[in-house]
Structure formats: structure tokens, C-alpha cells
Structure 1
Amino acid sequence: MIQVKKLSFDFPAKVLYKEVSFSLEMGQHCAFIGSNGSGKSTLVDMIINPDKYMYDGKIIKDESCRIGYASQFAVRDKEQEQTVFEYLSEKFVKNQNSTVAICEEMAVAENVEPLFEKYQALLDEFVSMDGDNYISNIQKQLYIAGMRELEETKLSELSGGEYKLLQIMKEMLLSQNLLVLDEPDVFLDFGNLNRLCKLINGYKGTLLAITHNRYLLNHCFNKILHLEDGDIQEYDGSYSEYRCSQLKEKLKLKQQSIEEQEEIYRTEKMVDALRIRATIVANPTLGNAVNAKQTQLDRLLARQIKEPFIELREPLIEFKPVEAKDDYTVLSVTDYSVSFDDVLLENISFELKSGEKVAIVGPNGTGKTTLIKDILKNNHPSIKIDENINYACLSQLTDENIDETKTVFEVMENLGFETKESISGYLEKFCLEGDALKQKVGQLSGGEKNLLKIAMIANTNAELLILDEPTSHLDIYVQMAVEKAISEYKGAVLMISHDFYLIANCADYVLLVEDKTLKRMRTRTFRKMVYDKYFNKEYLEVDKKKQELEAKITLAFKMDELMKVEKLCNQLEEISSN
């Protein structure tokens, strides 16, 4: 379907790819993974629109390849009065209307040949979309996604997550044989994530998806493309199998590297000893021996194993230490209500104590972000943030907290950093380094922007963090670093999240949006509810064990305890294969 051969491409401030090659076969469901800012979205755009770019190498598409694309950003007209069915059938109805219009023209035209060509093109398009069955196909897709009851619902009444799923469904219905999804899971609640999983698994064509979602990675894909540091690793198999293979390969390379370094050390010692003897004894044979050994050493140095490709960028995220105050209320919400056309939240009341970590969880479109925005404004009569509390926020709105026309360096300079070295050293911990400092914020990837926002609030002395989807767009290893930072933070945290792992690992309790109010729920009860309603309990528990094993393997690698690494890798492989 797609072949990429020795592709190289760079921006003025950043090299993205260095002779990367990979292929995508008919019918494969491929996950495209990699660190934030590694160039995944750009590479996808190059495949779809190669003529936009000046690159070296080749991008070869099969002649039959028809590409559909769904963006990570679901943009819509809130006043749109189409129903769900009308939206999904739009392209089919347009084709039928155009065909009727051409037929009417042909009936009165003197020269029908050019009109007949248009007519035939429309028919071919209709056939390629399986147009004769479009009504039943739409109903089938809605049924698969568990959205059949929304068929006659107006688009303006849908949540953002539901609308995003419709965008994906619309591309699937057009029978494109290659569907490209860019972070389709971002901001989806648990119900819509489950629906997305069903849609992907029910799709018969070839699929390429950029995603960092652990649940999708483990349930929807049979091929992995991993982009890191300008290089691509290609793996046919599931994500769990890939991770096991990756860690075992790292162990093998590490062992080979140790053996090589030992041989290099011995050869260097011999060269030094021969040089000393050659300076004492004027003997041509000794001189030849020195040259021969030096040549051997040069070869060893030239072919020594590089750092394993799988040395992943793992950020060190830490919030500044603060002290929790016993039984001290940092935020209170009393009889808060919000409505637009309908009431979303009604008579909401809760308190957040110093040191508590609380997650607001609920379906898309239930007023959570509006509540957070009103808390941040801190001028609503129902909301009070203690005046003695310093607080910081992470917002998903691009125009808040950050000027996208400034470079990363300028943004950090405005925060009080005095030298380039101090900025570089600070951002290096967040894996924002090198060329990223020269880039304008608007040119960063979604994940890099989120990382920059996290770096900004981590530089404050905030005793309260208000976080709106803090792990969105972040790669898996950054997500885990954020989880660790939040769990170790001593201040109060109020966060909106659909990230099950973040909630389960960090929240003291959950405020669940239900029947237009917030229901307080213990984290353990929340986990059970998620197990029962959305995900498989056994899968989530096994996945948690995998994460724990991978953390132990990472630590063992750092301590060069390779026998321990091998033992842990075997355990991980055993769990993954069951």
C-alpha cells in the first residue's frame, strides 16, 4: 500500500528523518508511536501530500491507494443543524444530486461527450464508496459504535467526543482503503474510547494511527512503527510484543557493548605498552607491531555498537516542594450551576483541602471544562480560592497562558530565567532541548506544547495545581513521568482527565459527573466502576504489572544489573504472552 525508501527531511531548525524506510501492507492496522516532537504528524502529512515537501528518498503509493484522514482536532460549526445521519450521508447525497444534474444537462445538450465523462466519474466514485448500500452501512457503523440512538440527533447537540467519532466514521464510510488517524483518542471519555476501539477493530481497510493511548495500542494494532531521533523501527506484531522485543534487544546490545568495550580496553593497553617499548628499543618489528595494533584498535572503535535505538527520552518532571496544611481549605465551590441551551451542572458544592488530589471525571460535554474556567477566573460568586494560596493552571486552550508567536527561549526568558544555559538546563529535564529552544511555540507539536506548559507551572511555587487534561498529546513515557510528579507533589491538585491510569494512580478521590451533579467517589470504587462498565478488569491489572516490571527493568539497566534485567524481561514476556 505504502513504501517509504531512504527518506530524509529537515526543517531549518531541526532534522526530522535520516534515510528512514518502512512499508505498510494491505489490511494492516499500524500504530505510529514516538516521542513528542519526533515528527510523526509531519511524516503522515508527507505521505498524504508529498508534493508539499522537498525531501530526499522516495514515497511510493500503490495506484489503488485512496487515503482518508481524520485530524486530532475536531472543529465544527456549533450552529450546524444537520442530523448525524445527514452528516454521514453528505458525500453520498451530493454525488447523487450531481449525477441527477448531469443527466438533466445531457438530456438537452448538443455535445454530451464531456458531460458523459463527468457522469462516468461520478458513477465510479459512487461505486468506490459502496454507494448503493450507504444507508445500511451508516446504520451498521452507528450500531458498531453504540451510537444508533443518535441517528436523528443534531450535530450541535453532540459532545466533542461524539463529534470526533463521527469524523472518523465518515472517513470509514467513504471506503478509503488507507485511513490515517492523528491522535484519535485525545480528550475522549471512557465510553467514547471504547466506541473508538470497536470502530478501529471493525474497519477492514488499512489503517495508520498516531496514538499514545495504552489501551488502543494493546487492543487495535498488529504493526508498530516507532519514530525516534530521526530513525524508524518497524515491527510486525502487537505493542506488548514490541515492548518485550525492544527490551530484549536492548539487553543483547548492552551485553555486546560491554564485551566490545572490554576488548577495546585490552587493545588500548597493548598499544600503549608497545609504544613504550618502541621508544626504548629501536626495532622496526616493534614499530610494525604498534601500527598493526593501532589499526586493530581503530577498527574496533569504528564498528563499536551505538547506543541502543531504544534508549528512550524519559523526562524528569518535578513540581517545586510545598507543605500541605492540615485541614486547610484551598478551594470551595458552593451551589454552582452552569447552563447553555440546557443545564449542564446544577447546585454543585465541594471543597478541596490542602494536599488533596482530586479528579473530575465525566462524559464529554457535561460542563467540566466550563467549571474549571470559572474556577480560574476566580470571580464567580459560587467559587472561592483562598487568597493566601498560590495557584497555577494548565489549560488546553491554546490562547491561554502562552504566546504562540514567541520562541520557547523567549517564553522561558519572560519567566525570569537569566541565561541561555539556565533555560537549556531546565528544559533538558523535560526533553525540550537543542533546536526546540529556537522554535516558535506555535510550531511545536501538541505534545511539546503540553510539555512546555508543564515546565512553566513546575517552575512556580504553586500550592494548588488546576490541570485540564494534563496528559493529552503526551507520549507514553512522558505520561508516566507526569503521573509520578503529581503523585509525589505535596500540594493540592484539581484535574480534569480521561486518563484512567493517571486517575487510578494519583487521585485521592473522584468527583464523578452524574445527573448534572458531582458525586464523590473513592478511587477504588471508581476503578471498579470502570472495570464493570468500560474496560476489562483482568487487562488493566495485567497492564499495571507490565508497567511495574518495565520500571524495574529500566532501573536494573541504569544499575548495569544485566542478569536481573534478563530475569525481569522473561517475566514480562511470560505475562504478555498469556
Structure 2
Amino acid sequence: RIGYLAQEAPHGVKTPFETVLEADLERAALMIESETSEDPDRLGDVYERLIAIDAYTAPARAAQILLGLGFDEDMQARTLDSFSGGWKMRVALAALLFSQPDLLLLDEPSNHLDLEAVMWLEDFLKGYKATIVVVSHERDFLNNVVDHILHLQGGKITLYPGGYDAFERQRAERLAQIEAARANQAVQREKLQEYIAKNSARASTAKQAQSRQKMLSKMQPIAESYNDPTLSFGFPNPTELRPPLITLDMATVGYADVPILKRLNMRLDPDDRVALLGRNGNGKTTLARLLAAQLTPMDGEMSSSGKMKVGYFTQYQVEELDPTDSPIEHMSHLMKGATPAAVRAQLGRFGFSGDKATTRVGKLSGGERARLALALITRDAPHLLILDEPTNHLDVDAREALVQALNAYTGAVVLVSHDRHMLELTADRLVLVDDGTAKEFDGSLDDYIAFVLKGDGGKGDAASKADKKAGKKAAAEAKSNDAALRKALREIEEQTAKFTKERNALDRAMVDPATAEPRFSRMSMGDLSKRRAEVHAKLEASEAKWLEASEALEGVEA
């Protein structure tokens, strides 16, 4: 049996638990037959098979897989249609893992996961008994999960034993050997050609020259080794500012008058490197938006340097780029009054030089569009970079280039990422967003991962007890906001429906202008495309707000 993660997310009124349980088709069929068959002999075979496939432990296994991917008991009982696209893809992944195929094919399985779910998935796959083939751009994930690397290049496949680090080392050695062999062959060819040139005309040596000519003609040229072009980019360094850049004092932040995070106490200095940890839905994006001044505190104090510039990257900005514009057009729109040389210089920092700077965004790869988004947000040399999942569209080499760029950057960095390798190499402060607040995590990233795998969500014993007490208090406070939270959810759902309707209308207008609604009928294709990008961005933001508010409501009802 071959299992492949479909790109289309499941939907409907079934729950995640029901969807996962039904993924084992054999079990589902046998369970029905066990209740309907009247043949004693057949029933005996059915029960024997059910025992052989551990059918009676299936509900517990399904619940455990969903829990590992971030679904608590209440979330497992909700309908699929109440979840965002990313969470629906988690359900699809859970169903695939539960079905236990003989060949498990995974294409970028971590893209919709947070760090905690990635850690669980690694642990699960390490114990998986069948064959796994995975496409991934995460170095640590590959190091921890696979024992061979298949490298595809130039129409050829090469198998390397070991994880990604071993692959890099062996490939470098192989390329060096190829180059050495090519150099040696070039020397041999030169010597043969020199001998042939000197001795072909002499009767006494003509026979030997002919022999050398045959040797030369039979010498198969060693193909030039192909090495991927080195990618590098850099962030412009900011002017110096006196610390602190930002101070939070007992701040509260949320949406539509409903608090998501409370009692926030935090200080950011110009040289800080902060990683925000915690499961999706806990409020990492809410905190990032507060620090980026996209949200204002509902209560408490937030002060920031008046001269501070902020560059804020979200994974949705890649989708907001106008596919009909080039990188140089995007940058020129934002760098008003800048000289063409200055515009090209900023693009050049991120690998957009020559023809790449004038190529339409629609023809760029996902990684190139992500680099363009990074170039756009750093055009003013910000003092603070806030990066929310910047690696989703980047391959391994681009991620390494991003790590180097961040480490060379002299400003402050706040990072949300499920890429452990990046966090390990760039962050020197860990902040755990959990239980309705954010606190410094006392330990290393390895400590945090150990806590996550232990099942305590990243807390030590003492911290866990303290957080449970604080969590009860937070839940009691949140219950008083239950009505307001439900109202906020309804308003967000109405906004989401409105944006979805407009986006669908724009899609129809772009496909067949004759069927366009009156409000879109006179718009050019370029204007329709720009409007769709704007609406899509609003829809993504609305879905993010819905997720945060939904998770807050679950915390109240838990």
C-alpha cells in the first residue's frame, strides 16, 4: 500500500477524529462486516483480522496522532469546516500516518506545522516500521528522520547514505574527486596531443603517434561537475539607537476587545535575537504584530524608540506580490524618490541583478518571491526585523543564506519558525508563548525540545505547576469575556465570508470578463489582479484573526 499526502485539504461536517479513524479502510470495512455478517466462519476470520491489525486500539492511536499534531480533545471533536486550511492539512497528515501505508510519501510535511508538531512528527517517523520517502528543506528534520539521501540533478539520481549533513560532506568529496580527475585527464590529453603534434610527421615515430591518437580518441571526457550556484544575501544594517527599542509593561493585546495575551513584560534591545516558541494558536503571531505596531495594547504600557524602523515579514506577503510586476517595479513603488541605482542596489543584496530584477513576479519561484518580500521589508534598513515563518518557501541553501544574513545583521531580530536549525544558529533568547501570556524560557532549545517530547509542552516540573495555577486564573478571567469572544468570532467570520465572496468574484472576472460583476466589469486585468492580491491578503489576515480568537475560546471552554 502506498500513502501520499494529498494537496487538497479535507472538509465537511465530520470531525478530525472521525476523519482519521476512517482513513484505515480495511479496519472500517471489517468493523461494518463484524456488525452485519451472519456467517459464523466469516465472523471468526473478521475478528481474527481485527485483532491482527490492532483494530480495537485504533481510537486511542488516532487520538494520540492528532494530539501530537496539535489537536487537543475539544479540537478533535469540532467539524472540519471550522478549521483554517493549515489545520485541515494537519488532519490530512494525521489520517495518512494513521493508515500506516507500506510506502509513506511525504512532500514538505512540516510546512503547516509549528516547531512542537515537527518535533512530534520526527519522533513518530523515527519509529515508523515501513519505508518512508520524504521531500523536505529542513536540515535537522532530514538528519533525524532519514538514513539515505536521493539527490536529483541534471536528470540523474545519486544515492548517498546517511542524513543531510552526511550527504553534504560526501557530495563535496565527490565533487572534489571529479574535479581532480578532470584536471588529471586534461594533463594527460595535453601530453598526448603534444606527442602527436611532434611525432606524426616522422616516419620513425608515426606508428607511435597513431597509437597515441587512438588512445586520445578513446579517452572519454569526464563531465564537468555541476555545483549549485552559491546563494547569498544581506540585510542593510540600521543606524544605531540607544536601548531599549521596545518595552512592554503588563500589556494586554487581542482582537475586537477580546484579549489573547495578558501580563506581557518584555524588553527588546538593539542586539537581541529572540525566538518565539509555542504551539500555533497560542498567540505568537499576535505578539509579533504587537511588536510590529500592527496592534496596540488594550491595557498596560508599550513604549518604543521614536526613531525605530521595523521590518515585518509574514508568510502571506509572498502571496500578496503582484504577479504582473517585476522586482524592480515593486521596489520602485516603495522607494519613492530613490535613484534607479539605489533601487537596484537593494535588490542586488537579495540576488536580484540583471534580468532577474526585471522578470515578472509570476515567473519567479516560491523561494525567489520570498527573497523579494524580504528585500521589500528591509528597504529602509530597519532597526528591528520580525520574521514570522520566513523559511516556508526557501530551500536548504536559501535557508543557510538567511542564517548568515541574520547573523551579519546588526539590528534586533524576533523570529517565529519551525526550522530548528535556524533557531539554533540565530536565537540567543527564547520566549515561550503559552497560557495566555509570554515568558522567557529558562533553558536551551534542546531543553525545550526535550520538554515538548516529554509531553509537558515545554515546561519544567516547577514551571508546569506554576503555569497550571496561572492558567486556572487566566481561564477564570477569560470566562467573563466569553460573550465578547463569541461576538468577535461572528464578526470575523462575517468579514471572512465577505472577503471570500469578493475573491471568488474576482477570480471569475479574471477567467471570463464577460461574466464579471458590474463593479469589476470595467477594470483592466492588471487592476483585477492587484485587487485580488489585496483581498487575498485581507482574507488571510482575517483567517489568522479567526484562528487566534478560536483558540482563545477553546481555552475558555476547556
Normalised TM-score (structure 1): 0.60
Letter in 2 for 1:344: I
Quick check: 1:66–1:178 contact (8 Å CA) kept in 2? Answer: yes
Moved more, 248-257 or 148-157: 148-157
Note the alpha carbon deviations across 1:480-506, whole angstroms, 9 max, x for none: 221111111111222212333322322
Cα 1:399–1:146, aligned 2, differ >3 Å: closer, same or farther?
A: closer
Match of 1:482 in 2: 402
**Which protein has the bigger strand share?**
1
Letter in 2 for 1:154: R
Cα 1:134–1:491, aligned 2, differ >3 Å: closer, same or farther?
A: same
Match of 1:150 in 2: 73
In 1, the alpha carbon distance for the partners of 2:49 and 2:106 equals: 21
1:180 aligned to 90, 105, 113, which one?
105
Q: Give the SS at the match of 2:391.
A: coil
Cα 1:175–1:249, aligned 2, differ >3 Å: closer, same or farther?
A: same
Letter in 2 for 1:262: V
In 1, the alpha carbon distance for the partners of 2:209 and 2:241 equals: 71
Moved more, 434-443 or 450-459: 434-443
Match of 1:503 in 2: 423
Cα 1:289–1:388, aligned 2, differ >3 Å: closer, same or farther?
A: farther
**Pairwise CA distance, 1:467:** 0.9
Cα 1:150–1:298, aligned 2, differ >3 Å: closer, same or farther?
A: farther
Quick check: 2:253–2:286 contact (8 Å CA) kept in 1? Answer: no
**Which protein has the bigger helix share?**
2
Is structure 2 residue 72 aligned with structure 1 residue 136?
no
Letter in 1 for 2:232: L
Cα 1:67–1:357, aligned 2, differ >3 Å: closer, same or farther?
A: closer
Match of 2:4 in 1: 68
Cα 1:484–1:285, aligned 2, differ >3 Å: closer, same or farther?
A: same
Letter in 1 for 2:282: T
2:253 aligned to 333, 337, 352, which one?
337
In 2, the alpha carbon distance for the partners of 1:214 and 1:128 equals: 40
Letter in 1 for 2:451: K
In 2, the alpha carbon distance for the partners of 1:306 and 1:67 equals: 38
Is structure 2 residue 122 aligned with structure 1 residue 197?
yes
Match of 1:357 in 2: 273
**Pairwise CA distance, 1:213:** 2.0
Match of 1:89 in 2: 21
In 2, the alpha carbon distance for the partners of 1:204 and 1:340 equals: 48
Cα 1:306–1:88, aligned 2, differ >3 Å: closer, same or farther?
A: same
Letter in 2 for 1:258: A
Match of 1:262 in 2: 187
Match of 1:389 in 2: 308
Normalised TM-score (structure 2): 0.62
State, as a whole percentage, how many aligned pairs show the same letter.
Answer: 24
Q: Give the SS at the match of 1:318.
A: coil
1:307 aligned to 204, 221, 224, which one?
224
Cα 1:268–1:175, aligned 2, differ >3 Å: closer, same or farther?
A: same
Q: 1:526-537 to 2 correspondence within 5 Å?
A: 526-527=444-445, 529-530=447-448, 532-534=450-452
**Pairwise CA distance, 1:90:** 4.5
Match of 1:251 in 2: 176
Compute the RMSD of aligned alpha carbons. Answer: 4.9
2:384 aligned to 458, 464, 473, which one?
464
Is structure 2 residue 159 aligned with structure 1 residue 234?
yes
In 2, the alpha carbon distance for the partners of 1:429 and 1:285 equals: 63
Cα 1:270–1:532, aligned 2, differ >3 Å: closer, same or farther?
A: same
Quick check: 1:427–1:433 contact (8 Å CA) kept in 2? Answer: yes
In 2, the alpha carbon distance for the partners of 1:482 and 1:532 equals: 26
Note the alpha carbon deviations across 1:118-151, whole angstroms, 9 max, x for none: xxxxxxxxx9999986563342244367649638
Quick check: 1:360–1:510 contact (8 Å CA) kept in 2? Answer: yes
In 1, the alpha carbon distance for the partners of 2:64 and 2:370 equals: 35
Unpaired runs of at least 5, structure 1: 1-64, 105-126, 537-578
Cα 1:493–1:209, aligned 2, differ >3 Å: closer, same or farther?
A: same
Cα 1:95–1:448, aligned 2, differ >3 Å: closer, same or farther?
A: farther
Cα 1:250–1:366, aligned 2, differ >3 Å: closer, same or farther?
A: same
Unpaired runs of at least 5, structure 2: 37-47, 455-558
Q: Give the SS at the match of 1:314.
A: coil
Cα 1:381–1:169, aligned 2, differ >3 Å: closer, same or farther?
A: closer
Note the alpha carbon deviations across 1:395-414, whole angstroms, 9 max, x for none: 11146662244455654565
Quick check: 2:23–2:98 contact (8 Å CA) kept in 1? Answer: no
In 1, the alpha carbon distance for the partners of 2:23 and 2:255 equals: 34
Q: 1:212-227 to 2 correspondence within 5 Å?
A: 212-227=137-152
Letter in 1 for 2:118: L
Note the alpha carbon deviations across 1:237-294, whole angstroms, 9 max, x for none: 54454344323322322321332233345556667x85xx99xxxx676997999699
Cα 1:130–1:70, aligned 2, differ >3 Å: closer, same or farther?
A: farther
Letter in 1 for 2:224: E
2:262 aligned to 333, 341, 346, which one?
346
Quick check: 1:128–1:175 contact (8 Å CA) kept in 2? Answer: no
